[in-house]
């Protein structure tokens, strides 16, 4: 079952609703990269609050999405990691240090907002 | 109660089976009274060994079963396949060692997630990973 992706202004929101198979993860990766280009989005929020298992494959795929998004000049924020999932990720060794995270959707959007504002200010000063 | 605490066997061939195996493990662990955090650790470890079956052996089986020991109950996971086997088990258990372009975290990570962990494998003779998580005393 594909992950629904919502377009809200310049941000794409992907809310994962249930356990992901590897096929779902690969599809999510492809769809997000395509849509970031099509809508010229500035950011992606991936909400994983409904996920009970974040194994090495899912972690690697999310990191790849974050890196590809950044190469497109946008940012990805991962939100909603459950406490026991966070615990399991640390034990597994997939701590995703290089990926932006926030507690929930609201804070994730706020984080993207602040990053966007910063980029504009930098652009304004330079220009 | 008794029915939900029976052994469950899941044939592993597709990535849907990986999800089914970890859900079976989580359910059994829950019925045996393991802590909520431990359910997630067991499900994550199962996901790793099940994916190794689809990635390296193609097909195999995961058995989850209740075990008793030293006054505690626990969940045991046996992941077996008749794939190519592992050449050097010590190396396969090192963080970052991969022949499949992964992170090389599956086996060492599963070992950290569980209380007991053993691999039996020989090149050409398949692989069996046996791992256990114990419940409260
Ligand atoms: N069931 C198996 N049959 C044959 N070889 C295996 C099996 N499981 C693991 N291996 C070997 O052991 C190596 C290490 O496995 P491990 O799960 O730790 O990492 P990975 O699968 O390469 O990457 P990751 O799990 O992080 O995506 C594999 O690359 C593979 O060579
Ligand atoms: Mg693996």
Helical (H) or strand (E) element with A79: strand A75-79
* Phi, psi of B45, deg, nearest 5: -65, -40
Q: Which residue has the tokens 């809200």?
A: A8
Spatial contact of B64 and B75, defined as CB atoms under 8 Å apart? yes
B58 pocket-lining for ligand 1 (C-beta < 6 Å)? no
Nearest Cα neighbor of B84 from B51, B113, B47, B58 is B58
Q: What's the fold here for domain A5-126?
A: Transcription Regulator spoIIAA (3.30.750)
DSSP SS3 for B53: helix
B89 pocket-lining for ligand 1 (C-beta < 6 Å)? no
Residue A51 distance to chain B (closest CA, Å): 10
pLDDT tens figures, A31-60: 999 999 999 999 999 999 999 999 999 999
Q: Does B99 have pLDDT greater than 70?
A: yes
Q: What is the mean pLDDT of residues B21-30?
A: 97
Quote the mean pLDDT of chain B: 95
* Stated length of chain B: 137
- Residue with CA nearest ligand 1 atom 30: B99
Identify the pLDDT of residue A127: 35
B-chain residues near A94 (CB < 8 A): 103, 105, 109
Q: What is the C-alpha to C-alpha distance for residues B93 and B2, in angstroms, rounded to an integer?
A: 36
Using the Cα atoms of residue B78, residue B29, residue A18 and residue B111 in order, give the sign of their dihedral. negative
Q: Does B76 have pLDDT greater than 80?
A: yes
Q: Does A12 have pLDDT greater than 90?
A: yes
Q: What is the C-alpha to C-alpha distance for residues B80 and A28, in angstroms, rounded to an integer?
A: 30
- Percent of chain B predicted with pLDDT > 70: 97
> What are the residue ranges spanned by the domains of chain B?
3-134
Q: What is the C-alpha to C-alpha distance for residues A28 and A18, in angstroms, rounded to an integer?
A: 13
pLDDT classification of A126: cutoffs 50, 70, 90: very low
Spatial contact of A45 and A108, defined as CB atoms under 8 Å apart? yes
pLDDT tens figures, B26-72: 999 999 999 999 999 999 999 999 999 999 999 999 999 999 988 89
B-chain residues near A52 (CB < 8 A): 26, 40, 43
Identify the pLDDT of residue B14: 96
Using the Cα atoms of residue B109, residue B112, residue B117 and residue B123 in order, give the sign of their dihedral. positive
- Between the CA of A126 and the centroid of ligand 2 the distance, in Å, is 47
Q: What is the mean pLDDT of residues A92-98?
A: 88
Please give the CATH number for the structural domain made up of B3-134. 3.30.565.10
């Amino acid at each position: 079952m594909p992950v629904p992706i919502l377009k809200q202004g310049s941000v794409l929101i992907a809310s994962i609703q249930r356990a992901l198979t590897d096929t779902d993860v690969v599809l999510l990766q492809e769809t997000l990269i395509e849509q970031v280009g099509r809508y010229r989005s500035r950011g992606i929020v991936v909400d994983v609050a409904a996920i009970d298992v974040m194994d090495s494959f899912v972690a690697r795929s999310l990191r790849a999405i974050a890196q590809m998004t950044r190469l497109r000049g946008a940012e990805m924020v991962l939100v909603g990691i459950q406490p026991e999932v966070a615990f399991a990720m640390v034990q597994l060794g997939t701590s995703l240090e290089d990926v932006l995270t926030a507690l929930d959707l609201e804070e994730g959007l706020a984080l993207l907002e602040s990053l966007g504002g910063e980029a504009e200010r930098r652009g304004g000063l330079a220009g | 109660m008794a029915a939900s605490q029976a052994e469950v066997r899941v044939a592993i061939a597709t990535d849907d089976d990986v999800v089914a195996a970890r859900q079976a493990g989580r359910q059994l662990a829950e019925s045996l009274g393991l802590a909520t955090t431990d359910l997630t650790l067991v499900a994550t470890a199962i996901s790793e060994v099940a994916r190794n079956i689809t990635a390296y052996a193609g097909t195999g089986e995961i058995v989850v079963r209740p075990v008793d020991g030293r006054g505690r109950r626990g969940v045991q996971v046996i992941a077996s396949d008749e794939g190519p086997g592992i050449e050097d088990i010590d190396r396969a258990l090192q963080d970052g060692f991969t022949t499949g372009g992964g992170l090389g975290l599956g086996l060492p990570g599963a070992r950290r997630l569980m209380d007991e962990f053993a691999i039996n494998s020989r090149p050409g003779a398949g692989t069996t990973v046996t791992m256990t998580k114990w419940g409260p005393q």
